[in-house]
Structure 1
Amino acid sequence: MKPFTLLYFILSALLYFVALPLLVFLSFKQKYKESIPARFFLFNNPRFKNDGGIWFHVCSLGEARALKPILELLNEHEIKITTITHTGQAEAKRYSAEVRYLPYEMFLPFWAKKHDVLVVLEAEFWYMLFVVAKAKGARVILLNARISEKSVKKYLQFAWFYQKILSDVEMVYAQSEADKNRFLALGAKNIEVIGNIKLAGKISKTKEYQKPQEELIVAGSTHDGEEESILKSFVEYKKQSDAKLFIVPRHPERFEAVYELMKKYAQTNSLSLSRFSQDREFKTDMVLVDVMGELNNIYAISDIAILGGAFREDVGGHNPLEPAHFGCKIITGKHFFHQKELFRYVHHVQYVEPDGIHKALMKCKELPPSMVEEKIDLEPVIERLKIQIYPFRGWLQCPSG
């Protein structure tokens, strides 16, 4: 083990023991009751069964979903997936793959097995993950790699550290030219711009719902603090338009808190309220969608989508492709730095501050539906991946046989 790697390992172990009381405390919270015990105590998180194969590492729900078209093109090969969040874990388990949580870095030298390739999506830069994977014989590839405009200063301040991380990466497939230049500044090599692979994902609904006669507004993937502004705007808008509001919180552990907030607005403004899990007649003025996996089905019957995650400065926005695919008129905030590349392909979007939502709702009457300008062809991306993989072992064959 190199001196820096040994020092990093020791520091990660010290940090682990310092944080142990907090980790135990967080383990009892609904949001972390599965992920923290798995990642930090290896509870129900054994090593992969076999050596070899392709190991994909993603963070959360969005990245796990982005894997789908890639895995469909690699369906003959042994796939392993690790995630960070419980929502990412649930999505990854939909695939025909071995799925685990990524353990805390201190455990990786003993937990990780030998793989042929490690493919890491977006901005999951874990020093020990890269070092251990390469030491055990894997070729490390970054796919859909990005460094946001908001984060780049922080990365450059620690450029010496990220240069060490990226020294173990053989190939970087970046989302944009801007991302490529940021990786170059950090010392990365072999960088190619391929666009955002989320453009290749098939967007579909899983259920058919009857669209209400009224105009339907859906607030999708909302975070704490955003629902208040949306509810205020909807109350004003409702005075001038016959409309309904569905709110779909990003995190299920917030369902109850959001319902209480909606109930307060309903009582104050004489509006009716229901839960999606209990009533799917959609007869009330407002509906809390307290069920996972329904957002696309609701986008499909909605007229306007208020896309959450961008009205706060610390989230970075959410995927606009889904509401655009279903022809919703999109309103979102101005802090969409994590999704900047995707928004580049979506037209007719209103970007507003929280206090501008009502005005944007009024303006929707004169705007066309949002639309996605282009798609990405994944076949060349897969072939490029194979070029990196194939010289190492002959087990990965081209689709033509």
Structure 2
Amino acid sequence: MTENILAEPQRESAGASTFGKYNFQYHWALCRVIEKHKSNEEYALLIEYHEDVIIANSLNGQEALFEFYQVKNQSASFTENSLTKREKGKKDTFKSSVLGKLLSSCIGTQYEKRITQIGLVSSSGFSLKTEKNLQLDIIKVGDLSEDCLKNLTDQINNELGISLLPSHLQFIVPEIQLANQEDYVLAQFAKLVNTIFSGAQCNAVDIYRAIIDEMGRKGRIQLDYKEWDRLISKKSLTSDEVNDVLALNTTRPTITQLENDFNDLVSNFGWRPLSTRNLRSKLKTLALKRSGFPTSFDINIIRTVKSLIQKVDYNSFSSDLDYVSALFHQAKVDNLDSIIADSDDLKVEIFYALLVDDL
């Protein structure tokens, strides 16, 4: 069991208990993972865990690298002073500054070296001096003017004892706006489906609702998890889960053809209609998922089953039913059922290899 490298005490967990599923920061997070999904990147999105948003680039806990984001929705632009201002707390102590909170979630932790990006996202933008006075939507540390960088560094050094700001720190002005955040995300989902399922039709509203509701459910969880796999299962939204939702709410002409081909093949098998319908439904879902976002596991399964099919000579059988039955038998001989335990899922994998060329 892989240990969860993020299993350190969280700075605070109030965000999880006050989660509002229509909040700006979660719509921004959705836009971020949609960008990754378009590029066929694997990811796990963590909501209200150490930071507002954490994105892991792998489901493998030993390999995953992380992006940490704090997402702010306020009326005024952030300045050098407001980023590092510390309000007075109880007993004459000072609270953390906005930038200090973000950096304290990342610096000096056991996972610090696996963080590739630290981002502060502000709906109202930033009033920070940059070299050549450029108006940037992503301001990197190297883009800041010398005076601005020195001022921020001095203040953070006083607060946290950090003498250099991390080179992967960024100040991000988002494209999504408060006034149109829901419509914006719906449009992004529609564009995503069109990108990964060419020629497909989708119900963007159902996709959005299913995913935002799942984010809401997992965002409210305040527990810690020592094991990585449990963290991913209980607390994160993964690329696999998003792809399943996309597949269930998308139709493609080629998928209709696949269903017709399946019906033609099994029409004379004498199978019970309910059993056939279940296999057809699973085959459709599998084909949609793989046409959009095949995982490394998917690719290995496809190769294994195609190799299995090559062992069985179609011309040696007098009927398609006998041939398909021989493939089912060969799958068990090859111990494929140790990887795919459900017998219907195993059958679907064989039908997929037989009927799908390039969806």
TM range (shorter): under 0.3
TM-score w.r.t. length of structure 2: 0.25
Rg larger for? 2
Question: Structure 1 or 2: larger strand share?
Answer: 1
Q: Which has the higher contact order (CA 8 A, sep 6+)?
A: 2
Question: Structure 1 or 2: larger helix share?
Answer: 2
